[in-house]
Amino acid sequence: MEEAVKQHILALREELHQHNYRYYVLSAPIISDHEFDLKMNELQKMEEANPDLYDANSPTQRVGSDINNTFNQMQHRYPMLSLANTYSEGEIRDFYERVKRGLNENFDVVCELKYDGTSISLLYENGALSRAVTRGDGIQGDDVTENIRTIRTIPLKLVGDDFPASFEVRGEILMPWHVFDALNKEREKQEEPLFANPRNATSGTIKLQNSSIVATRKLDAYFYYLMGENLPTDNHFDNLQKLKYWGFKVSEAVKKCATLEEIAAYINYWDTERKNLPVATDGIVLKVNSLHQQRNLGFTAKSPRWAIAYKYQAERAVTTLRSVSYQVGRTGTVTPVANLDPVLLSGTTVKRASLHNADIIEELDLHIDDKVFVEKGGEIIPKIVGVDLDARAAGQGEKVMFVRECPECGAQLLRIEGEAAHYCPNETECPPQLKGRIEHFVSRRAMNIDGLGSETIDLLYRIGMLKDIADLYDLRWEELAKLERLGERSAKNLLAEIEKSKQTPFERLLFGLGIRFVGETVAKKIARNMKNLELIQQATEDDLLQIDEVGVRIAQSLIAYFEKEQNRMLIERLKAAGLQLSLGQESLSGQTDRLQGKTFVISGTFTRHSRDEYKTLIEQHGGKNSGSVSKKTDYLLAGENMGPAKLEKAQSLEIKIISEDDLLEMIGNDLR
């Protein structure tokens, strides 16, 4: 049972990492906000119940990242945390009661519309826009100042003279519906992929390298929070009015509420009225008004205790199922997709919906020409949630049966016991798998080879220049330069990126191999324990099971991968090309066992290093990180503004409380 729980946690983490990446980096999410939040809540609860399985790199420990390496990264003065989400008014009541107990005094709540765009943080110095930074990973983000200057609703110079000398303002960049529709019509004419929704279009626009193109997109912006020293007032609502006076666009829908009844009335009113707005919204944000009370309530690791986001339920429509097609992913997983009669849903026309797997198809009892209910939360890829059985005529439509053979290569599909997905086992010849593995290998979190998008990979595959990842290191300039899609300059840049990738650290190469079940975090753990690829190839199942977070499924997958002759030959080619197949000297020299067997909990803010840096240091020296204090905790690393609950529990369990200087002395760092 313990092993099953561990494997479920690991699977959830890997799935949520992928969804975070698709959402923040690719701007191509495949599940709704609601589904994501449910999975995140499930993982959070399981981690709380199993603190010994804590991982500093778990999705619960971070906000998600939209960092693009083509921009400079800037650190936020104040971390950009996410908000806790809820979908029921009962949970709003629970939030209200928690605040009431936490303050034990009267308070007001400011209700605001939750705009569905791209978060931005603007820094103003002496009344002028100085810097614009995306959310990134919450600690640092991309400097997109030049692009932000093109948005006409953002003031470059402030009105008046009563603003602080330096302050930060948070807001949301948005693409109005009419601009989004016009942009997609133009892209359709040019036979370019359409944006799924205004949020994705906004995210893509902000990351463009040419600010003149950004200017043509006619983006908008609303602002919702003021931060800094010497603020004009000690309450959020009046600070918003000041922002409006200084020239910022602040929603007219902001309302100060004193009771739960007023909050409920606000939520109900905007559930309907928001559909008449010129920009996308997906919920309501509630914030305690008093900044003093906000400070007293404080923060959890991920979100403020004084704010919460209420998200409206997904919209639903009825349309007709016309056919089902099947897509093959890089690991061979086959995903069914429903092709529908076009229907308008959440402001966009829906023609396709995910069916996930064979079990979902069977559960829905789908037939061709069925009238189906389609939902789409937050304007993301929709899904079929039911069938109108009353509308099905006797004998109508062929029953949908999951395919038995791969739609791309014809191989017989397999289904592993205990898993929902079918997959194609033809790793060596199935085109989507071959191209998918190359796309994964060159991705930012793996080898980070810029200039090799899916279309270029497809071209090189079709003409026979690229059949596997090792072929990348055999590409020649004279062949690439002849291709219409590349040309001499692009070919030169691409080869420079490929050459640079030879210095990519071993743990990222291991992740880039795309071994089933070996995600980014697990690849790091294996690399740090086994030191080089040769030892991993020689490892037994028992050897691998000694590594933290490696269970039977991962161990067997690794062994199966290296048992295949083709994969061993691939590794030899990568070795001959000069890639890093072992940990670098810097990584090896920094590792010690000084904290071996010790478990740490970190709370608060620090001056010498960030929380994440301390978590990395602890692991580097043999220690373990945990998210919650328990009898298994050896040390509580305490910073400024640490959580009172953790401190109280540590004291009650007589756990040693240490400072950052204490920790640095323990690992032998020079504090001078």
Q: What is the pLDDT of residue 158?
A: 86
**Of the candidate ranges 14-23, 316-325, 533-542, the one whose mean pLDDT is the lowest:** 14-23
> What is the C-alpha separation between 105 and 293, in angstroms, rounded?
9
Collapse the DSSP code of 664 into the 3-class scheme (helix H, G, I; strand E, B; otherwise coil) and give the result: helix
Return the pLDDT at 379.
46
What local confidence, expressed as pLDDT, does residue 586 receive? 62
Q: Which of 45, 114, 249, 649 is catalytic?
A: 114
Among the residue ranges 36-45, 58-67, 451-460, the one predicted with the least confidence is 58-67
Q: Is the pLDDT of residue 340 over 70?
A: yes
**For position 68, what pLDDT does the model report?**
47
Residue 216, helix vs strand vs coil: helix
Query: Is 311 an annotated catalytic residue?
Result: no
Supply the DSSP string of 306-359, one letter for each residue. Answer: TEEEEEPPPEEEEEEEEEEEEEE-TT-EEEEEEEEEEEEETTEEEEEEE--SHH
pLDDT digits (tens, 9 = 90+) for 363-410: 999 999 999 999 875 445 688 888 999 898 887 889 999 999 999 999
Walk me through the domains of the chain, giving residue ranges and CATH numbers.
Answer: 2-50 (1.10.287.610), 73-311 (3.30.470.30), 315-425 (2.40.50.140), 431-586 (1.10.150.20), 592-666 (3.40.50.10190)
Residue type, 361: I
Predicted pLDDT at 64: 43
Task: For residue 33, name the pLDDT band (cuts at 50, 70, 90).
Answer: confident
Phi, psi of 532 (to 5 degrees): -150, 165
Residues 637, 660: Cα–Cα separation, whole Å:
7
Spatial distance between the Cα atoms of 399 and 530, rounded to a whole number of angstroms: 50
What is the per-residue pLDDT across 614-631, written as a single tens digit (0 to 9) for each? Answer: 887 887 888 887 767 888
Question: Is pTM beyond 0.95 here?
Answer: no
Rounded to an integer, what distance in angstroms lies between the CA atom of residue 622 and that of residue 551?
20
Q: What is the pLDDT of residue 160?
A: 82
Return contacts of 162-165, CB within 8 angstroms, 24+ apart.
162/232, 162/242, 163/124, 163/127, 163/232, 163/242, 163/246, 164/228, 164/229, 164/230, 164/231, 164/232, 165/125, 165/126, 165/230
Under DSSP, the state recorded for 475 is -
Find the mean pLDDT for residues 35-40.
Answer: 82
Chain Cα centroid distance, residue 581: 28
Q: How confident is the model at residue 1 (pLDDT cuts 50, 70, 90)?
A: low
Q: What is the predicted pLDDT for the residue at 192? A: 57
Bin 369: left if φ > 0, else alpha if -120 < ψ < 50, else beta: left
Burial annotation 346-363 (CB, 10 A radius, 16+ → b, else e):
bebebeebbbbbbebbee
